[in-house]
Amino acid sequence: MTDQAVNVGSFGLPEYRVIAGYKVGVSKNTDLGVQVYWQEDYTESDGGTGRSSVTGLVRLGVKFA
């Protein structure tokens, strides 16, 4: 990894990021999706916060035909 990514943008970029998602069709015009985001920041000695975070998202999609 590069230390230069710590200084990108207002908050910098995380050192590691993993995104997982799953979507299933509930009916002909409806689907349900789940996504989970995990990221870990650079250590404090590298200019980051040293923290990690997990965020989840649930989505219900309906198609109007």
42-64 per-position pLDDT tens digit? 888 877 788 899 999 999 999 99
Whether pLDDT at 2 is above 60? no
Which pLDDT value is given to residue 53? 92
What is this structure's pTM?
A: 0.69
**Alpha-carbon dihedral 20, 32, 59, 56, rounded to 10 degrees:** -30
Whether pLDDT at 38 is above 80? yes
Whether pLDDT at 1 is above 80? no
Whether pLDDT at 23 is above 70? yes
Q: Is the separation of the CB atoms in 33 and 12 below 8 Å?
A: no
Backbone angles phi, psi at 21, to 5 degrees: -145, 155
